[in-house]
A and B are shown apart, each in its own frame.
Chain A
C-alpha cells in the first residue's frame, strides 16, 4: 500500500501538475458527461414522446378490394363496364371493431361514423363567394357521386377528446363538455361556436336535424358543448355548407348511424385505435390478422407520423451525443496518454530511484494510476457541476437544429402532420371523409407537435457511467504510458 501513500504525497506536493491534469481531465469528462446526459435525455424524450403521442391504427373498409369486386362483377355484364352509381362500400361491423379493441396494447379507441344531415330547427352557416355571386351564394348541399349532401356534417364518435381535431388543437371546447363513452346512447351533441351564435344557441338547447336519405327521419339533439374551430378549407369547398367547419356537429356514432338508415345499425365507418406503444404498430396489425380479421373486406392503416416526426430529431441528437462520447473518449485517451507519457519522462529519475530500491514496476505503474484516480475524483466533481450546463447548451442547440431540419424535410416531402391525413388519407381519428376533406389546406405547422426542450438532468447513473469512462480513459492512458516504465533501466537513469 506504500504506492498509494506515495501517490497521495506526489499529487499533493506537485500541485501545479495535479491542477493541470485535473483541468484537462475535467474538460474531457465535461464533454463526455454532456454527451451522456444528452443521450439519456433524448432517450427519455423518445419514451415520453411515445407515451404522449401514441400511434394510431385505423380499421376501415378495404376500398381497393371493394373497387376490384365491383369491377369483377360488372365485367360479366353486357356493356362490360361498371355502373358508377352502383359502387357499394360496406361499413365496419361493430363486433369486429370490439374484438380488436380488446387486444393488448390498445390504450383507447374511437368509433367513427359520419354522415350529412339537413338542419331542421336552425340554419346552417353558409358562405358567399364574391367572384361567383349567383351560383355560389348558398349551397346548402347537393348531390355528389350519388350521395346526398345535407347542410351539416354529423361527425359520429365515441369520444370527442381523442379525435385528432381536438388533440391537435384545431378544435377547442370553449363551453360545456365534450362527448364521452357515456354519451353513446344519447342524442347529446357538441356544436361549433359560429353555428351556435348564428342561431342563438347555447348549452342545454336542443336542435333538430333530418336525414338526407329519409326526410321523415328527424332527430332532436341536445347541445352539451360548444367548440371553436380554427380549421380552414378551400373557398370553393366553403360553398358547400356541409364542408364548412362551422357546420360540423359532433354526436354519438349511433346518432350518425340512425341518420344513415337501418342498414347502418351496429356498424361504424372506421375505428381509430390508439396504441400504448407506437413501436408495437406492426405487431398490432399482425395480431389482428392472426385473430382472423378479413383483410379482403377490411384494412388496417397505421399512422405514427407524429411519433416519427418527434422521434427523428431526438434519434439524431441521441446518435450525435453517442458520437460525442466516443470521440471525446478516444481524444481523452490520446491527450491523457501524451500527458502521462510526458509525466513519466519527467519523473524518470523518481522511477529509477524506486526501481533501485527494489520496487516492482507494477507498483510504480499502480502509483501513477492512483494519482490519476485522485485527479479523476476531483475531475468528476467538476464535470458533475458544469456538465449539466454544457449539456444544456449543446443539447438545446442540437435539438433546435435537428427539429428545424426535420420540419423542413417533412414540409418538402408533404409528410408533415396533417399532410397525408388531410389529403383524403385515413383520418387520425378525425371523423371520416368530411373531416379529412376539411383538413385540406391546413398547414403542417398548425398540427405539428415537436419537442423543443430536452430534460437535461444529471442522475447517479450518469455519474457512475462517467466514472466508468474516466476510469477506462485513465487506465488505458496509464497502460500506454507504462510501456516506457517497463523499458526503463535504473542503471541508465541513475548512473550516467
Chain B
C-alpha cells in the first residue's frame, strides 16, 4: 500500500541527514509501530508519509503512485488520515461536527454522515450527549477518541498517528491502541503509530525502530 523508496531527509545540511536511503513497505490491515528516542526523526518521518512535507531525496509511493504526482493536498484529502498527539480538533465545533466536517472535506462516501459518525463515536464510548458538546468540554482521552473516530470515518486507507497516547493515562492509552488495532484489523486499514512507549509498541503487529538514521525491524 505504502512504499518508501530511497528516502533521504535533512533540515539544513545534507551531512546531518535524518535518514539515508530508507526503503520500507507498509501493508493494509496491519498496525505498525515506529519506535525511537526523542530527536531521532520519528515525527519528521510521519510528516513525510502523511504528505505534510516532501523528501529531499527519494519518494513516498501510495498504491504505486508517487504522492508528489497525486498532489500533497489531494493525498492528504483522499489517502491519509492523521491523528496528532494534541488531537487537533476544531475548537469551535462539537465532537460530532468535527467528524462530519472532516467527512465533508474528505468527500466521504457515507450517505448519512451524521448517523455514521454518531455510531462510530458510540463504539468508542462517546455518547450522543458527549458528541454534541463542544470538544473543549471533553477530557483528553475523549478528545483523542474523537480524533481517532475522525480518522476512521474518513475513507482514507492509511492512518498515521503521532504519539497518540502521549497525553493520556495508562488506561486511556490501552483503549486507544485497541482502537487502532480494530481499525487495522476490522477496517483493513494500514495504521502507522509513531511512539516512544515500548508498551504501546508491543501491541502492534510490526515494530520498526529508528536508530542511527535507519529503520530496524524489531518485530
Contact = CB atoms under 8 A, between A and B. Distances in A.
Interface of A: 2, 5-6, 9-10, 13-14, 349-350, 352-360, 489-491, 494-495
Contact of B162 (A13, A360, A495): A495
A490 B54 CA distance: 12
Given A352-B88, A356-B84, 8 more contacts: A13-B92, A13-B93, A350-B91, A350-B92, A358-B78, A490-B52, A495-B52, A495-B84
A138 B84 CA distance: 113
B162 A6 contact: no
B195 interface: no
Nearest to B88: A353
Given A356-B52, A357-B76, A494 B105 contact: no
B73 A350 contact: no
Contact of B46 (A5, A350, A489, A495): A495
Interface stretch (B96-104, B114-122, B123-131, B184-192): B96-104
A491 B47 contact: yes
Nearest to A354: B105
Nearest to A352: B88
Given A2-B105, A353-B90, A358-B105, A491 B53 contact: yes
A2, A355, A360, most chain B CB atoms within 10 A: A2
Contacts of B102: 357
A18 B26 CA distance: 46
B75 interface: yes
B69 to A, nearest CB: 16
A344 to B, nearest CB: 15
A13 B93 CA distance: 8
A360 B162 CA distance: 23
Interface of B: 43, 46-47, 50, 52-53, 73-78, 82, 84, 86, 88-93, 97, 101-102, 104-106, 134, 154, 162
A358 B106 CA distance: 7
Contact of A358 (B74, B84, B89): B74
Nearest to B92: A13
A399 B52 CA distance: 61
Q: Give 6 nearest A-B pairs by CB, closest first.
A: A358-B77, A358-B76, A491-B52, A13-B92, A2-B104, A491-B47
A352 B50 CA distance: 13
Contacts of A491: 47, 52-53
A353 B87 CA distance: 10
Contacts of B46: 495
Contacts of B52: 356, 489-491, 494-495
A352 B84 CA distance: 12
A3 to B, nearest CB: 9
B77 A9 contact: no
A358 B79 CA distance: 10
Nearest to A361: B73
A9 B97 contact: yes
Contacts of A13: 92-93, 134
B47 A359 contact: no
A359 B105 contact: yes
Nearest to A10: B92
Nearest to B156: A358
A357 B47 contact: no
Could you say which of B50, B52, B82, B91 has the most chain A C-beta atoms within 10 Å of its C-beta?
A: B52
B53 A9 contact: no
A349 B88 contact: yes
Contacts of B101: 2, 5-6
A16 B82 CA distance: 31
Contacts of A349: 88, 91
A478 B50 CA distance: 29
A1 to B, nearest CB: 8
Q: Which of A349, A354, A358 has the most CB of B within 10 A?
A: A358
Contacts of A352: 88
Contacts of A350: 90-92
A468 to B, nearest CB: 30
Contacts of B105: 2, 354, 357-359
A341 B52 CA distance: 24
A360 B77 CA distance: 9
A14 B92 contact: yes
A279 to B, nearest CB: 58
A495 B162 CA distance: 9
Nearest to B104: A2
Contacts of B106: 357-358
A355 B134 CA distance: 21
Contacts of A359: 73, 77, 105
Nearest to A3: B105
Instruction: Give the most central of A5, A10, A491: most B CB within 10 Å.
Output: A491
Contact of A494 (B73, B84, B91, B97): B84
A481 to B, nearest CB: 19
A359 B154 CA distance: 13
B73 A353 contact: no
Contacts of B154: 357
A491 to B, nearest CB: 4
B75 A358 contact: yes
6 contacts: A13-B93, A14-B92, A356-B50, A358-B75, A490-B52, A494-B52
Contacts of B97: 9
Contacts of A494: 52, 84, 86, 88
| Most chain A CB within a 10 A radius of its CB, from B82, B106, B154, B162 | B82
A454 to B, nearest CB: 45
A290 B79 CA distance: 83
Among A352, A355, A489, A494, find the residue whose CB has the most chain B CB atoms closer than 10 A: A494
A88 to B, nearest CB: 94
Contacts of A2: 101, 104-105
A13 B90 CA distance: 12
Contacts of B84: 356, 494-495
Nearest to B76: A358
Contacts of B47: 491, 495
A146 B94 CA distance: 104
Residue from B75, B76, B90, B134 with most neighbouring chain A CB atoms (10 Å): B90
A355 B51 CA distance: 11
Contacts of B53: 489, 491
A5 B98 CA distance: 12
Contacts of A490: 52
